[in-house]
Amino acid sequence: MILEKEIIGKTLSLILVSEEDETIVVTGTIQRNGKGLVFQNTNEGVVISMSDDVLQRIKVVTGEIRPILNDADFALTLSVGNLPDGISIEGMIPTGLKWPKDE
């Protein structure tokens, strides 16, 4: 497991996977915000709270995959999409990110 002190100020790529298996990568930094950690991407104006259970899922980026993930130090894969009926948003991570429109 990655320790909090190892990740503060480092880059993190969020690997967002849609229901249709499309993938985008959004990269930012991990910062301390009060008592917790947040992912910040100033280009998108996004700040996402990072809970302890999310920190456990973060992986170190190494080798040839690093350039694909914008040279990030760490990565976290998240599924994105509509919630099925009857599923609570509790436990979900609100990102505020918008999926890119098709060109």
Number of domains in the chain: 1
What average pLDDT does the segment 19-40 reach? Answer: 91
CB 76 within 8 A of CB 54: yes
pLDDT at 103 over 60: no
**Dihedral angle sign, alpha carbons of residues 92, 19, 31, 1:** positive
pLDDT for the residue numbered 91:
66
CB 77 within 8 A of CB 17: yes
Domain that holds residue 24: 4-79
37 within some domain: yes
98 within some domain: no
Cα–Cα dist 29/43, whole Å: 11
> Which residue bears the tokens 């100033």?
42
